[in-house]
Structure 1
């Protein structure tokens, strides 16, 4: 079990998707995402969202992501943040988003 102090070390922030495109080089079906995190700048992520979402419908959406994990190489792409979602079954991800407008980079506690 983790402590509350452990949990507060995880930086979860709001990010607005500014670009989304297919990622055919990924081992599992995925998209490349570029997200605006306000003062943190633009960060990119590889996200396995292809079952439920199309790239055009992701652009402009505000999502939640962990922003303080180390970068991860996925094929020829560096994924800098972990986009968060619920996984009702394997291969399906339902994105988690705030229910009101928040500025990019807003910290989730």
Structure 2
């Protein structure tokens, strides 16, 4: 896969990337691709919802309590009857499976990534 075009530091600074903890996960039956509806606690930022195509590697029960890294300042995106409020970041594998980005040690929800 080719590298994307170079961006400026100010472009990167526009992204608000935070740590959060998954507090609920359920099947998203109306999504076109297999997905979960995820609710994430971002501490002082409150909770946000996300649609995540992570069903290949994760059972929804195992996601509860997992800390994740997400972009929290994208506009809401409607997917079927659901509004996704943040983007959970992950590594896209060779077969399009997603491995969630996380921390190696627990940290306070809502802290920024930089």
**TM-score using structure 2 length:** 0.93
| CA drift at 1:90 | 4.0
Structure with the larger strand share? 1
User: TM-score, with normalisation over the residues of structure 1?
Assistant: 0.97
How many residues align structurally? 109
Counterparts of residues 1-109 of structure 1 (less than 5 Å): 1-109=6-114
When Rg is computed on C-alpha atoms for both structures, the one with the higher figure is 2
After superposition, the CA RMSD in angstroms is: 0.7
Q: Mark the runs of 5 or more structure 2 residues left unpaired by the alignment.
A: 1-5
Q: Distance in 2 between matches of 1:29 and 1:91?
A: 12
In 1, distance between residues paired with 2:31 and 2:96? Answer: 14
Runs of 4+ residues over 2 Å off in structure 1: none
Structure 1 SS opposite 2:93: strand
Asked whether the 8 Å contact 1:51–1:91 carries over to 2, the reply is no
